[in-house]
Structure 1
């Protein structure tokens, strides 16, 4: 990969030995300092990264239809007989006496007009096209594992600080997460690799920040560890403490969110909002699986939140009893097939909300910056659309189907009808029952989406019905957001205590007892109720 990028713009020389000049080109491109190198910026960098990872499949290239020579315009044959070269090399009219540019100006002018397509054209036939090029799945899986580790890497932070993530059970978790990410690009059971069409289509929506971890990794070549960038000219040298350990990436421990899942989230959510910024607001395993507990823990957080839910896929059986049967009967009878292979039954879904939670009566809450996503067994991102605004709903009784939903319209109030209406599932939606026992994710690709857009990688109808294993809500924010939440909790506690006191909060226990005895609620003189 690096030896290919180091050959830029002379890709016909790749792979090259990495000397000083080649490493300058590598660092400039990998750290996104390519304004003077790539004419089309990020688009050319994406294509260059693909070519550096891909191998050329000769079987695929042989079946590509080549344009016959007879179809070429005779007037263009002469012009196409040689490479056109760069724009800076073309002759211009002018006085030779005025050509007093120095070497640096000539080099920068060449870089200004440089385009990666021109670089491909000056190379061999394989470098001139992406047809037949493919990134092997095994190679890309290893790169994803590296990107998962480097995702939280800070400037001048040593990669050795994360060596514990590649040993023991942590390595198994890393491999499993990398497999989920890889499945978003290709089905390894059907295809041996990733084509450029798949790479360029999936990357912008599902992984806009996939390669961000390479920036701090290659910035180690730019700045010395002993360099104090805060020192001003003429000022005395200051000693920078090197032994201060940074705060942990996750301040709290959850059952769903771990370091690998956190890095996976940073592939489509800005890492500055995630690393060392998340606080566990609600965990079903600790606080109980009830909407009341959820409301108490989450509703006072006034910053963005990340909702996560894990579960086990429900098998298709004829007879269902108990609460599972009740949940099954509330769903529409039409059921789409599962969204992934049947041997991977664990599912993880989630949502990013940038607005505070609230109880839904008639209208949903949320905005067009909300994101619905799936993390396992495959990675998928469903961005908000403008078809409707049924982004998120938190409905309580007496609604027909109380619970939490994303992408579906709020359920109506319960009617006196003997048979309750079926649960309304949006084209792309996630719904949970009020007891937090079962959930369903619906993806109706035929309808072309609703509040959320359809999948980029899975262009078919599918549905996941699952029993809930755990639910977590993480707050994105720092100490200020936590302080505001604590103040609101304390205020609500004082209000609840004031309502509990029957004597308007005087705190006199004897006066409280006397008042209750006069009412006959305590003591030997109490009355009321039939003993028959």
Structure 2
């Protein structure tokens, strides 16, 4: 009949889809020179076995210059072998061939956003799955702890640990598993893959029953602290001093503080997806930013010589001496070190921190007083970061008179401490983006103010929109002078009554005017404060501490420093001019005219006797 039998088009194989997606990623996410460099790096690094070119764990560790002492290479390679299987994650782990490494670099540097429209939450789930293990024993231990240990603070006789998942978290976790992996679906949609082919592929590894082992995550956090200030063409080896001696100990201690935001490391075997997904957006939104410049190393080839012409003849070139870069931290502080600086970059943009901070005020240098604070901080017209460190006060308080006087200004302590007794060194802080000033009638600060704790637990309390009691700076004769974050501003009637109790906000930090004592309050059940409650510690706690040191760091460069110097010079000239005003020289008419010009006498003002 002249009719031919029709055949449906054969669906593409997984290998064809992976190659097609890798080609699309490489074309749209890499510049031509970057793609050339990537190919050159892969060619020079790859091993070959049975005509398959691939990268081994030790090769990647050596290329990225991962420090051996961190022992993080197996953890990172586990991640890459999973991410390299994208979009067919159920095939993980995979051999890291050319197409697989394109997937790795595109996802680890967040360049996939140029092709796929899904946001950070999809990448967050992918990173969790790449770190997680599916161990029935670990899951049983976690389930048993969840059923027997409620979320509660530390007390003097029992230390149950930080908040573990509540009942609602499991439901949230299960719901997440019922949804397809959005990043996978977006990748397949970008290739116009038939829906029938997608079925079953996105459920490669669900988050239910999975967890990140605590020890693995600790090692990864140490690496992320190390690489957070890294530039794309800067090597980890340039920070070799940070993984030796006392700086290595600082790195470990800081990693422990960050890890404590997720779990009680002594009791929990791992981190569940519910904890990971809940805590990262609010407490550590930039935790994985250091991966961007680290994996961009694959996009810069040392063999690339831009001095050669097309005919192969090298141009005459002059090598300019390398301009030394300023240090990550220009000044030395007693609280802020390089590890704490990296910790800050997990929730404050590194562009405002690295090579940008100046030590404006240090209690150990300028004296612990409101006057010293004012003279050093008030003229800075850019954001500032206040840090205060201290040691937890004993409960009940000691018989020290100054300590007793401080306790007398506070309401009775209703809440337990927020961390175990053996971790009594506390660090709190605040990011304030408005210039500092005394607050006679109302608080200052905006919705971009951030209150935070760095030790012994990492926690972030962003500004709320419920009220604007963000920052108050009070000096005598106001009642209970000092620096307050999140506390209602004292009313005029309260200011006149000496000895009135401080009005502590639901989430607040108070530093007394002598800079000797402080108190941090977290009234989780109260709500309604100027700062949001913790996403990891869902309970009430209060920390009363003796201040060891207090620092204020200015976020800014040379221009901000110049403006501050000019303001200081102007104030110095004004003070000198006031000292030179000489009244009572005998010329009463001239003196009276001067006082009238100043508005001090005349009209209804008597100004006192001139005789």
TM-score normalized by the length of structure 1: 0.81
Counterpart for residue 135 of structure 2: 57
RMSD: 3.1
**Inter-partner Cα distance in structure 1 for 2:360 and 2:489:** 25
Q: Residue 132 of structure 1 is aligned with which of 195, 199, 209?
A: 209
Shift in Å, 1:128: 3.8
Aligned pairs for 1:110-121 (under 5 A) are: 111-112=190-191, 121=200
Counterpart for residue 203 of structure 1: 280
In structure 2, relative to structure 1, the CA distance for the partners of 1:231 and 1:263 (3 Å cut) is: farther
**Inter-partner Cα distance in structure 2 for 1:231 and 1:462:** 66
Q: Residue 477 of structure 2 is aligned with which of 381, 393, 398?
A: 398
**Inter-partner Cα distance in structure 1 for 2:305 and 2:350:** 25
Counterpart for residue 212 of structure 1: 289
Q: Residue 23 of structure 1 is aligned with which of 84, 97, 101?
A: 101
1:264 aligns with 2:325: no
Q: Which runs of 5+ in 1 are unaligned?
A: 65-83, 90-106, 505-532
Counterpart for residue 285 of structure 1: 364
Counterpart for residue 400 of structure 2: 321
Counterpart for residue 387 of structure 2: 308
**Inter-partner Cα distance in structure 1 for 2:193 and 2:432:** 42
In structure 2, relative to structure 1, the CA distance for the partners of 1:261 and 1:108 (3 Å cut) is: closer
**Inter-partner Cα distance in structure 2 for 1:85 and 1:197:** 16
1:181 aligns with 2:266: no
**Inter-partner Cα distance in structure 1 for 2:517 and 2:511:** 6
**Inter-partner Cα distance in structure 2 for 1:85 and 1:440:** 44
Contact 2:86–2:103 (CA under 8 A) maintained in structure 1: yes
Aligned pairs for 1:333-352 (under 5 A) are: 333-352=412-431
**Inter-partner Cα distance in structure 1 for 2:193 and 2:216:** 29
The Cα offsets for residues 424-468 of structure 1, whole Å up to 9 and x where unpaired, read as 100000001110000000000001240000000000000000000
**Inter-partner Cα distance in structure 2 for 1:363 and 1:458:** 30
Q: Residue 156 of structure 1 is aligned with which of 233, 253, 263?
A: 233
In structure 2, relative to structure 1, the CA distance for the partners of 1:112 and 1:254 (3 Å cut) is: farther
Shift in Å, 1:13: 2.1
Aligned-partner SS, 2:480: coil
In structure 2, relative to structure 1, the CA distance for the partners of 1:108 and 1:421 (3 Å cut) is: closer
Shift in Å, 1:189: 2.2
Contact 2:397–2:403 (CA under 8 A) maintained in structure 1: no
Contact 1:39–1:114 (CA under 8 A) maintained in structure 2: no
**Inter-partner Cα distance in structure 2 for 1:114 and 1:441:** 54
**Inter-partner Cα distance in structure 2 for 1:227 and 1:180:** 42
1:146 aligns with 2:223: yes
In structure 2, relative to structure 1, the CA distance for the partners of 1:224 and 1:403 (3 Å cut) is: same
**Inter-partner Cα distance in structure 2 for 1:321 and 1:414:** 30
Q: Which runs of 5+ in 2 are unaligned?
A: 1-78, 144-179, 584-611
Aligned-partner SS, 1:431: strand
Contact 2:479–2:496 (CA under 8 A) maintained in structure 1: no
1:33 aligns with 2:116: no
**Inter-partner Cα distance in structure 1 for 2:514 and 2:309:** 61
**Inter-partner Cα distance in structure 2 for 1:229 and 1:460:** 60
Aligned-partner SS, 2:297: helix
Shift in Å, 1:228: 7.9
Q: Residue 579 of structure 2 is aligned with which of 492, 500, 517?
A: 500
In structure 2, relative to structure 1, the CA distance for the partners of 1:113 and 1:330 (3 Å cut) is: farther
Shift in Å, 1:254: 0.5
In structure 2, relative to structure 1, the CA distance for the partners of 1:440 and 1:249 (3 Å cut) is: same
TM-score normalized by the length of structure 2: 0.71
Contact 2:443–2:489 (CA under 8 A) maintained in structure 1: yes
In structure 2, relative to structure 1, the CA distance for the partners of 1:416 and 1:474 (3 Å cut) is: closer
**Inter-partner Cα distance in structure 1 for 2:115 and 2:578:** 69
Counterpart for residue 436 of structure 1: 515
**Higher percent of residues as helix:** 2
Shift in Å, 1:22: 1.0
Aligned-partner SS, 1:164: helix
**Inter-partner Cα distance in structure 2 for 1:147 and 1:474:** 23
The Cα offsets for residues 140-175 of structure 1, whole Å up to 9 and x where unpaired, read as 000000000000001211111011101111111100
Count the aligned residue pairs: 463
Shift in Å, 1:497: 1.3
Counterpart for residue 472 of structure 1: 551
Aligned-partner SS, 2:441: coil
Counterpart for residue 358 of structure 1: 437
Contact 1:36–1:111 (CA under 8 A) maintained in structure 2: no
Counterpart for residue 541 of structure 2: 462
Shift in Å, 1:61: 6.7
**Inter-partner Cα distance in structure 2 for 1:340 and 1:109:** 46
**Inter-partner Cα distance in structure 2 for 1:500 and 1:54:** 70
Counterpart for residue 520 of structure 1: none
Aligned-partner SS, 2:238: helix
Aligned-partner SS, 2:111: coil
The Cα offsets for residues 359-413 of structure 1, whole Å up to 9 and x where unpaired, read as 1101000000100000000000000001110000110111111000100022345
The Cα offsets for residues 464-500 of structure 1, whole Å up to 9 and x where unpaired, read as 0000000100000111000000000001111111122
In structure 2, relative to structure 1, the CA distance for the partners of 1:85 and 1:347 (3 Å cut) is: closer
**Inter-partner Cα distance in structure 2 for 1:85 and 1:406:** 41
Contact 1:210–1:267 (CA under 8 A) maintained in structure 2: yes
Aligned-partner SS, 1:286: helix
The Cα offsets for residues 313-335 of structure 1, whole Å up to 9 and x where unpaired, read as 00102553311000001100133
Q: Residue 376 of structure 1 is aligned with which of 455, 470, 495?
A: 455
Shift in Å, 1:6: 0.8
In structure 2, relative to structure 1, the CA distance for the partners of 1:251 and 1:6 (3 Å cut) is: same
Shift in Å, 1:416: 9.6
**Inter-partner Cα distance in structure 2 for 1:36 and 1:416:** 57
The Cα offsets for residues 112-149 of structure 1, whole Å up to 9 and x where unpaired, read as 5689xx979327x7x34111100000000000000000
Shift in Å, 1:231: 12
**Inter-partner Cα distance in structure 1 for 2:495 and 2:269:** 57
**Inter-partner Cα distance in structure 1 for 2:337 and 2:524:** 31
1:10 aligns with 2:88: yes
